[in-house]
């Protein structure tokens, strides 16, 4: 039987993180579950098949990141890093604070890049895989999500550039782009807006399934959902057409950003 790689999973106790952990553990992967809350991590690991490790830490904290890497490489070295930790922000740009800007960009982009850098340095060129969990909104600018889009556009660009840079090495960089997903990251306003717009919302188990396909397949990216994956391509080729579609939806979107 082929020995499966050991995986570091950040954001392990979130909705998507738990679904990823469950599906990977069922397939026989050994996991290092990273999160900020020890109780939630212990609850999760007790639900999973097989033996797994937990590491407490905040990826935005430099000391915590160094500790994550040190503890993760204590025993059998992990060869897979799944960057799943992230936060959202749904509000008009006029309403965001400097703290909001820093938190979203640091968590979703800067810290993820830094953790990836530390992981790959530790691997020293050995066969490795990094999967960055992004978003459809990393390809489509959506009103009310200016900060989130900025972070995910950045993550997509980072993933694409690094993947091409590593093309002749044993390091594989992949990017997963879910659409709206049914997790606690969504506020009541976001849930109501998705209903009003008729947006499809996927269960986290579907996202986890797509991540497993990405991990075990040969492609470097997967975009989840129709018509979202079509609009992502359309926005790249003919953004003015997406502008028109967004403009029609703008009054509805703004209604929910303002909480009316």
Residues carrying an active site annotation: 148
- Read off the tokens for 187: 């506020």
Residue 80: beta bridge partners? 7, 129
The helix, strand and coil proportions of the chain, stated in percent and rounded to the nearest 5, come to 55, 15, 35
- Tokens 């890093």 — which residue? 81
Q: Which helix (H) or strand (E) holds 117?
A: helix 111-123
Q: Tell which residue, 223, 97, 102, 119, has the closest CA to residue 172.
A: 119
Q: 42: phi > 0 → left, psi -120 to 50 → alpha, else beta; which?
A: alpha
CA distances from 34 to 61, 131, 205, 232, 235 (A): 13, 15, 19, 31, 34
Contact 170, 151 (CB under 8 A): no
The separation between CA 120 and the C-alpha centre of its own chain, rounded to angstroms, equals 18
DSSP state of 2: P
């Amino acid at each position: 039987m082929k020995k499966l790689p050991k995986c570091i999973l950040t954001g392990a106790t979130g909705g998507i993180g738990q679904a990823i952990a469950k599906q990977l553990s069922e397939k026989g992967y050994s996991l290092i579950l990273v999160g900020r809350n020890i109780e939630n991590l212990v609850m999760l690991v007790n639900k999973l098949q097989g033996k797994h490790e937990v590491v407490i830490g905040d990826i935005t904290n430099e000391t915590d990141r160094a500790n994550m890497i040190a503890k993760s490489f204590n025993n059998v070295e992990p060869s897979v890093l799944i960057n799943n930790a992230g936060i959202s922000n749904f509000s008009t740009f006029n309403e965001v604070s400097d703290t909001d800007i820093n938190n979203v960009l640091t968590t979703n982009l800067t810290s993820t890049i830094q953790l990836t850098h530390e992981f790959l340095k530790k691997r020293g060129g050995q066969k490795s895989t990094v999967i960055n969990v992004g978003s459809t909104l990393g390809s489509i600018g959506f009103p009310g999500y200016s900060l989130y889009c900025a972070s995910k556009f950045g993550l997509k660009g980072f993933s694409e550039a690094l993947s091409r840079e590593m093309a002749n090495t044993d390091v594989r960089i992949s990017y997963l782009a879910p659409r709206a997903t049914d997790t606690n990251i969504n506020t009541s306003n976001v849930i109501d807006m998705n209903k009003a717009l008729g947006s499809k919302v996927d269960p986290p188990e579907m996202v986890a399934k797509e991540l497993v396909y990405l991990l075990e397949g040969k492609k470097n990216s997967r975009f989840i959902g129709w018509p979202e994956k079509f609009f992502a391509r359309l926005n790249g080729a003919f953004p003015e057409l997406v502008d028109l579609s967004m403009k029609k939806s703008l009054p509805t979107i703004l209604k929910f950003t303002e909480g009316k």
